[in-house]
DNA sequence: CCGACGCATCACCGGAAACTGATATCACCA
DNA sequence: TGGTGATATCAGTTTCCGGTGATGCGTCGG
């Protein structure tokens, strides 16, 4: 989930949220070089955030909604714990 | 929300989820140097993730649950959009 | 009022990560 | 089957960011 920190990767995820797309789409829309986009996709792929689907000579990528929801659940858990312990102050 | 990418900051947020604490607590628990922790806290403070509360000669920090929930909401929104557009594939 | 303590800020350094260019691979088409 | 286009990978460079040391400020205790 620390992968969404990079603006380029955040933009990729945002584009893929609108529907599966191949690498050339992302390259066009983002204005980045092809190897650059491909590297970001590899990082996201290894983290399980996106899934690659070879389609003839193209490669379609689509988001893994489960991974995003898992990250979201972790944040809501943190928020809930923070609220519950809001006034349990540790003394020095 | 790209701030939680750093492991040190994630650890700080995790500790603060257990209840408000002053800088010295975080320094002790994390084993990091004091300026280092203070720098991370400044970043988190400017992003609105944590709130500082001067208390005599100490400074207590506590999480801003709203900010965490907002980030979580953004992720769930991405996941929902991904599911909705899962089969809306763009052609090359 | 002076020493000690908690905390913040600044300048600097080193390492990691993003971008680039070149290249390899595979699928399609003529 | 040779050429082209789409994609992945790799080595090199540059940029950015986290860690460290030194320092300043405010607060408490003697």
What is the Cα–Cα distance from B44 to A6, expressed in whole angstroms? 17
Protein CA A70 to sugar C1' C2 (Å)? 56
**Which nucleotide in the DNA or RNA is closest to residue A54, CA to C1'?**
D7
When pLDDT is cut at 50, 70 and 90, the band that residue B4 belongs to is very high
Higher pLDDT residue, A80 or B90? Answer: A80
pLDDT at B3: 92
**Among candidates A58, A65, A90 on the partner chain, residue whose Cβ is nearest the Cβ of B83:** A65
**Which nucleotide in the DNA or RNA is closest to residue A36, CA to C1'?**
C19
Taking residue B66's Cβ as centre, other Cβ atoms within 10 Å add up to 13
Q: How many residues does chain A have?
A: 92
- Considering only CB atoms, which chain A residues are within 8 Å of B65? 79-80, 82-83, 86
Query: Is the sign of the CA dihedral A15, A21, A22, A28 positive or negative?
Result: negative
What does the pLDDT average to over A75-82?
98
DSSP 8-state symbol, B91: P
Which protein residues have Cβ within 7 A of any strand D atom?
A 22-24, 27, 34-35, 38-39, 41-42, 52, 57-59; B 5-6, 8, 32-33, 35-36, 39-40, 43, 56-57, 92
**B64 sits within 7 Å of strand C by its CB:** no
What is the Cα–Cα distance from A37 to A59, expressed in whole angstroms? 13
Task: Flag if A78 and B13 touch (Cβ within 8 Å).
Answer: yes
pLDDT at B92: 84
**B55 sits within 7 Å of strand C by its CB:** no
C-alpha angle A44-A70-A37 in degrees, rounded to nearest 5: 15
Higher pLDDT residue, B64 or A92? Answer: B64
**C-alpha closest to that of B13 among B43, B35, B34:** B43
Segment A6-53, tens digit of pLDDT: 999 999 999 999 999 999 999 999 999 999 999 999 999 999 999 999
pLDDT at B1: 83
SS3 of B39-86: HHHHHHHHCCCEEEEEECCEEEEEECHHHHHHHHHHHHHHHHHHHHCC
What is the Cα–Cα distance from A92 to B24, expressed in whole angstroms? 8
Segment B73-90, tens digit of pLDDT: 999 999 999 999 999 999
The model's pTM: 0.93
pLDDT at A34: 98
Segment B10-49, tens digit of pLDDT: 999 999 999 999 999 999 999 999 999 999 999 999 999 9
């Amino acid at each position: 989930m620390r992968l969404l920190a990079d603006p380029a990767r955040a933009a990729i995820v945002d584009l893929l949220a609108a529907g599966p797309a191949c690498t050339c789409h992302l390259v066009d829309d983002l204005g980045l070089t092809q190897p650059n986009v491909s590297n970001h996709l590899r990082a996201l792929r290894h983290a399980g955030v996106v899934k690659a689907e070879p389609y003839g000579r193209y490669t379609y990528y689509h988001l893994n909604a489960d991974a995003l929801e898992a990250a979201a659940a972790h944040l809501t858990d943190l928020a809930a714990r923070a609220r519950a312990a809001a006034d349990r102050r540790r003394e020095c």
